[in-house]
Amino acid sequence: MLVAPDVTVTPAVSPAATRCGLLIVAAITLAAFGPYLAPGLRTEQVAVYGSAAMLGALGLWLRPRFTGTAVWVLGAHLSLIGVAMIGLVFPPPNFTLHEAGDLVAGLDNLILPFAVVAVVAMLVGVGADPARMLRAVCTVTVLAMALNAIIAITSAAGVENDLLAQFRGYGEAESVADRAEQLGRYSGIFNQPAEAGVLYSMAVLAALYLYQRHVAKLAAVLLILTVGGVLSVSKIFLLAGVPVGIAYALLAHGRGRRMVALGAASAGAWFAADIYLDQWRGQRFAQRLIPGSGGGDQLDTYTAGRVGGDSTLQQAVDLVMSLSPASGMGPAGLRVAYDNGWVEALIVAGIVGVILHTAVLASLTVGWWRARSHRPESPFTGALLLLLIGASTGLPALTANRCATVVWLLLTLLLLARTDGRVGTWWQNPSQGQHRRLALAPTLVRADR
């Protein structure tokens, strides 16, 4: 018997499964940017739950493969759902003026991440190439957000688009985006500038991962994404996405090309600002974010009054702590603004939920730290996690509409799904991924020597 030492053996990737996987993940990613099909029904919900049901009906529910990190992450999230169900089965008394929220929407926020993870894990389990699926998700995200930036630019130029109402809430009433546009904040198809900020930030990271060898393409994409992010005046994009993107470009391998692209994009943005800044209605709102601009307390400006004794988040926390501090109010929650991942966890699952939400983020971070390597997927994963932790202070980034689907597609492909018998991620194996390292010819020896 001949043995090749130090050679990692991985199962063959199935071309048919890969084609099917590419079609499904690309369709789900695109659906995350789709319109509402009915009041409360988004395109992404149909795509995610429909794909999960179809693959399960084909018997693939027996095939998913998970990493060790996935066990901790999914276990913590499943536990959070279990605690939230206590509030559904045994509703705590509510003596406040705040009504319970939408139960269906609350359940969707909790269950959709599991459905996304299940779809990707089933596809990887039958031989779909996770490296190619990752590039497909990143490519669709970048192109969709670039198109959204163009829509935002046309809105800033005064072009009205009645179709946007279908993307923001089925056109039922004045949306958050409609009110934001009165302040000069243009978020395109997104109802909340914060949602746009998270996805602009992820698109920037995805572009840095995809196009690091193509300076001109990377510069053009970064320019349009930056303009879109600035027009939304999303603090998540400006205070988290931009710094994380710059750090990623500086610290990851191949920084030379990235820095040239960043410089070119910055020059283009500066030129555009010099010409059009005075015509933009949102410039005064954006200038308040600059320290020393005279806009009052800077922390209050950065958090939009969400932090402090009389803040909206503090009021939500006080409500839950007075009604059901341990297990929260259940999946329906309360009709108050969450605007924070930990506050959402507190409202639906109490203090236990806060601990479990933290455990999800901690498990993802530890999983990345243990798997980190020289591969390009490693810094991309680290930057994504840093962004999600920062974004969760201003939005429930792991469960928010549209954002959650793309977030969990990326997390599953990068950290939760595996392709071999080990507990590690696929990108720890140098034979797969964006950059393939040439393997040295193994020395063959007899097993009995």
- The predicted-structure confidence for 121-149, as pLDDT tens digits, reads as follows 999 989 899 999 999 999 999 999 999 99
Tell me, what's the pLDDT at 291? 60
Nearest to 8 by CA among 418, 376, 434, 414: 418
- 275 exposed, middle or buried (CB, 10 Å; 0-12, 13-18, 19+)? exposed
Stretch 308-326: mean pLDDT, rounded? 78
* Stretch (H or E) spanning 23: helix 15-31
Contact 185, 231 (CB under 8 A): yes
**328 assigned to some structural domain:** yes
User: Which residues have C-beta within 8 Å of that of residue 214, sequence separation ≥ 6?
Assistant: none
Contact 96, 323 (CB under 8 A): yes
Count of CB atoms situated within 10 Å of the CB of 431: 13
User: What are the two backbone dihedrals, phi and then psi, of residue 186, each rounded to the nearest 5 degrees?
Assistant: -115, 115
Q: Answer left, alpha or beta for residue 59, where phi above 0 means left and psi between -120 and 50 means alpha.
A: left
**116 assigned to some structural domain:** yes
Q: Which two tokens stand for residue 200?
A: 């602009």
> Which DSSP category does 100 fall into?
B
Q: Which two tokens stand for residue 422?
A: 């080990």
In sequence order, the β-bridge partners of residue 263 are none
Q: Which two tokens stand for residue 344?
A: 């959402």
CA dist 354 → 1, 93, 351 (Å):
54, 21, 5
User: What are the two backbone dihedrals, phi and then psi, of residue 13, each rounded to the nearest 5 degrees?
Assistant: -80, 135
Tell me, what's the pLDDT at 216? 93
**433 assigned to some structural domain:** no
In sequence order, the β-bridge partners of residue 196 are none
Contact 221, 211 (CB under 8 A): yes
Q: Answer left, alpha or beta for residue 402, where phi above 0 means left and psi between -120 and 50 means alpha.
A: left
User: Which residues have C-beta within 8 Å of that of residue 407, sequence separation ≥ 6?
Assistant: 202, 388, 397, 398
Stretch 73-88: mean pLDDT, rounded? 96
CA dist 106 → 189, 321, 345 (Å):
22, 19, 11
Rg (CA), the chain: 23
**426 assigned to some structural domain:** no
Tell me, what's the pLDDT at 367? 93
**425 assigned to some structural domain:** no
Higher pLDDT residue, 350 or 278? 350
Based on the structure, what is the number of domains in the chain? 1
Give the three-state DSSP class for 48: helix
In sequence order, the β-bridge partners of residue 66 are 417
Question: How many whole angstroms separate alpha carbon 409 and alpha carbon 399?
Answer: 13
Tell me, what's the pLDDT at 5? 36
36 pLDDT higher than 80: yes
* Stretch (H or E) spanning 446: strand 445-446
Tell me, what's the pLDDT at 445? 34
The DSSP secondary structure of 190-210, one letter per residue, reads -SSHHHHHHHHHHHHHHHHHH
Contact 398, 341 (CB under 8 A): yes
**Lowest-confidence pick of 212-216, 292-296, 337-341, 385-389:** 292-296
Q: Which structural domain range is residue 313 located in?
A: 15-60+72-158+174-420
Tell me, what's the pLDDT at 9? 40
Tell me, what's the pLDDT at 200? 97
- Threshold 0.75, pTM exceeds: yes
Contact 418, 425 (CB under 8 A): yes
The helix, strand and coil proportions of the chain, stated in percent and rounded to the nearest 5, come to: 65, 5, 35
**321 assigned to some structural domain:** yes
**136 assigned to some structural domain:** yes
CA geometry: angle at 98 spanning 92 and 102, to 5°? 75
Nearest to 211 by CA among 241, 247, 254, 264: 254
In sequence order, the β-bridge partners of residue 3 are 445
Give the three-state DSSP class for 254: coil
Contact 10, 121 (CB under 8 A): no
Best-predicted range by mean pLDDT among 1-15, 67-81, 418-432? 67-81
Contact 79, 358 (CB under 8 A): no
Tell me, what's the pLDDT at 3? 37
Note the pLDDT tens digit of each residue in 185-221: 889 999 999 999 999 999 999 999 999 889 999 999 9
Give the three-state DSSP class for 160: coil
Question: How many whole angstroms separate alpha carbon 272 and alpha carbon 285?
Answer: 18
User: What are the two backbone dihedrals, phi and then psi, of residue 6, each rounded to the nearest 5 degrees?
Assistant: 65, 20
Question: How many whole angstroms separate alpha carbon 265 and alpha carbon 349?
Answer: 43
53 pLDDT higher than 80: yes
Nearest to 13 by CA among 433, 428, 419, 425: 419
**65 assigned to some structural domain:** no
Cα 377–chain centre separation: 16
